[in-house]
Structure 1
């Protein structure tokens, strides 16, 4: 396994592979790796000659300083886990200066309103930070294909828009949500849940599945009201938002039509730990 801490070193490795006509896949991560990340990397290993995995906790996408400070940093165990997956992986684990230079700040992006929905309403500047770091990573790695999990479906749509607007020559593929046996979507934040919170958390996916069933016969507003009532009665989980939106525009649905695909999006607090999830509805 090749580990690069500087973009110049990574470029030398990738350029050497390009000379051999090898294809490059890429999975950007913030570390604290779990089976969800590994599912993305496995997909990339199946479809590319070599895979690059970045490990970088990006400061500009955190609207909450405390959340940034608490985010787990587990580089040694991450590298050990990647080594068990494939010895041919290329890991890019930079410091902030290598990505941002002297000034750690976000560019401003216009994603045609995708950034104003759901997460964008509750996390000011978040998608400017995401857009900034992903664009820079794409420019450094120059992959053929990049893989993102659908758990962060809004992020996936924004990165697709980033590529379209900036005419980047990267194919982006969304990979299905990887869940624990009890349905909880895997997240690095899950490790911070208490035993009681972890036992309660599968209620999120259980409610999403029930909402999907109701969406077949009820209006979006009725489904939203029902979900809000379920969480109002829960002792350990506090609903931040639940919405049903058009998958393409991410606009909240007003009236269902058969020609559009819809998805339900949810954000829930377990104490101070924020969990997100979503489910396709049709």
Structure 2
């Protein structure tokens, strides 16, 4: 019989082994280093993450990130998986039910996760657990050599920016970034990111934050009065040489933000899929 307990004191090699086996049938695979970076960026806390064990073998798990989200102490499901031969036994649901009171005692007031919209079985399970859809996200992917960098702006200067400028950067937003794209997530691994701003006469007109190791454009925003002038395209062009991947991606843009949808499509970066952000509060 499986026993549920926290992942505190579990060696990372064991976590990686279970993660790799649970997601072996997924198209995209993560190396041990990539998993470590992903969990670090998303605020993984082992003592508030849980697994189902049988004779010390990790059968199913939920890796929880802990932090502030929209002003509330939050747990974020940064990865839930079950080994193939143990699926259908309700282990993931049992882990969740075990986790909730522990998280509540730790002062957490809400649980956030993201799930692919076409994964209707998972969406149904989460709804039964009390989660409600809070937002819908798009994600986009394209090969670097297929991006159309046509409209550029030669009147701006590109300079590094710092997270200390974030108050001004937020004034450019059309929507609040998701957990993994938040300033808090970026700050956890700040040295991993290339952060640049577009300036004219020392005025910041737009900025972009890019993770070259993963090919992830984490944030991109331009002041409303200066859009459609090639600033966004110029920022992307400046960052593409830093990409260590042949494929780049824009993950978790709100579906209601038509400006980013049209902009990315104009660059030849197509919509690849959609996710739900789901939240359970208590």
For normalisation by structure 2, the TM-score amounts to: 0.32
| Larger relative strand fraction | 2
| Larger relative helix fraction | 1
For normalisation by structure 1, the TM-score amounts to: 0.32
